[in-house]
Structure 1
Amino acid sequence: MSDEENKDRNAGKHESSDIQIERSPGEAYVIFIEMNNLLNKLKLLNYEDEYLIKWKMKALSRHYFAIQTNTGEQFHSFITLAAWLIQQSGHNFEKPQEFDDPNTVISGILNQLRKLGYEVNFGTNKVKTGSGEQVIYTLNRLADEALKVKGFSWKDPEYENEAEEQDDEPNGDEPDEAELDLNKIEENMLRYDSDDQDAEDENIMNMEALNKLNTMVSGKNLMTEKRHEEILESNTDANEWKLEVERVLPQLKVTIKTDHKDWRTHIEQMHNYQESIDESLKETKNYFEKLYDEISRTLEKLGSREKYINNQLEEPMQAFRNYQDRLAEIKETYRSRSTGINERAQILAKVTSELQRVKEEMEEAGQSMTDGSPLIKIKKAMESIKSDMKNMDVRIGVLEHILIQAKLRHKDLINDNKDK
């Protein structure tokens, strides 16, 4: 391979790595949006009643399948929810059991997804974790199919007509435009303060602007001095001033919205509670002081009594401790000696078992020596043999007789043949 080809391949690798690195910063949050969409689809399918209650499953959070927490629990929830969605889409799919093969169950779910016409370009290992992009994709597609079967369709958003809103007349209950809101006043004041602060910061950073500001301030001081001189001689008409005040007075009206959570609405009630607490405290304070004195005296008596009892029981307690130590020593000697007794008891048990075996053998030998049953059996056997021998002798005699007769007949036949 040439050097140019190697350079081209390396350049291609660098380009591919750059492409992989240049990813959108919001791509990591897409999985959370998809999980939220899945949860909304499940709510449209009424999964609280049909799935959680009937199948006795735990409710899902907004980020349940987006973040890996408990792999076993998430995998069980995934396959169970997928089976329920497949059933909701009108197809037969058994509820997964505890001892089912995970690979078989996942393959069945993905095959069902392919039958519905959706693309599956990942393996079974991607969904074994029970969380991630592939799991949410699978459940979203199954939920879409279930919504189609249920006849649900997404409608376009409806926007209100701005012209109609402008033409609507204000209600009588609504506050007048001339009335001011304290919240708006506070916001404006904060905004003006922040603008002034920004202006001051900019003036501090800009030395030239600071010099200009000093000249402006000096000019303003001169103007204020002139105004003070003019104020000493007022040319204002009192009637015009009253008319102006009457005209502006409705605009200066301030309305405060009643908020039950605001502490100002409950200030009077708080004062009443405080007064009632103070009054009840005066009555109960004496009782508490008396009770405190009685408890203190009782504790002092208990302490003195405890000291007296401890002094009286000091010697018996010391004797009791000595007896306990002596008892512990005796128990220790008993344990050490009991171990020797146990060993000797085991040896005795072995000797007694051996002695019992020897006794049984001796008894069997004595019984065999004193018992005459074998002799009787031998005598009976000899008698039966003798009777058998007699029978055999008789049979032998009969056979000899028959044999002699046969020989004589044979001789007679030979002699007859010779004479002829």
Structure 2
Amino acid sequence: MAAAVVTPSGLEDGVSRSRGEGAGEVVVERGPGAAYHMFVVMEDLVEKLKLLRYEEDLLRKNNLKPPSRHYFALPTNPGEQFYMFFTLAAWLINKAGRPFEQPQEYDDPNATISNILSELRSFGRTADFPPSKLKSGYGAHVCYVLDCLAEEALKYIGFTWKRPTYPVEELEEETVAEDDAELTLNKVDEEFVEEETDNEENFIDLSVLKAQTYRLDMNESAKQEDILESTTDAAEWSLEVERVLPQLKVTIRTDNKDWRIHVDQMHQHKSGIESALKETKGLLDKLHSEISRTLEKIGSREKYINNQLEHLVQEYRAAQAQLSEARERYQQGNGGVTERTRLLSEVTEELEKVKQEMEEKGSSMTDGDKY
């Protein structure tokens, strides 16, 4: 696996590079951690800015919020990030001992970026990437530029990194526990004697205990009688209550997002539903009984009508059967009439043909007699 390194331009490349068959073609093998290198650079940048006391010298004077650990590594608000970028860059350049005018918000961003890159190159740092990479206000190039300027500022103030000093851990003295496994007969006798003396001391006389209990009860009753006696005037007390009462009122602002308000509303709705259900249930029961009685009446009337009109229904059914039979006979007769009409038309056509032939023969015979 190829490890990630940082080039002078601040970009992460893989260690292993292989030249392809084409002329001048370079294939870069990037390591798996190269995409996260700018997060590490950003965290180092925040620590360096804290060493430069940027919170007191820059943020508080300009009323700016301190950037997070990954502020310039992730896109959040490009306009705000770009403003923070050139503000920090100008402050770091001034910290590094170079006079640099603080850019304004409405200045040309291309001119501002070119000025920052020229100052960066004057420190001996390389910036072999297009200036448009800094317009977004975030990314590896932004972190690289700010990190280089922070290092130059630390060099200018004479800050040097020292080796860490680790505290020396003191080894605890090992204490050898005494072996108490073997007990002599003398120790057992001494412990037995001590237990007997303890039991004698713990013995309490019952009469003494009753006397102490009686005294405690008397003291408590006396205290209660003293508490019940009041020397305060009731009128003065009521006046004092009226005077202090407005100050004792506590106003709690109701928040609609509070779960307690939702619970109270649920209880109110539940009680409202239950009260409405009682009234509605009585009306619905009454309506149900009325509908049931009406259906029973309709059923009884239907049965009565069926019984009264049963003979008429039978007559109607018989007439309907006769009607169906008559319709069948009509269909049959209609079919015969149609067939006879067809035969009549055929006979009529033949008759017409015979008449025409007879007329033709008669006319031909008449013509022959003339000649």
State if a TM-score over 0.5 links the two structures.
no
Please report the TM-score for the alignment, with normalisation by the length of structure 2: 0.41
Larger helix percent? 1
Please report the TM-score for the alignment, with normalisation by the length of structure 1: 0.37
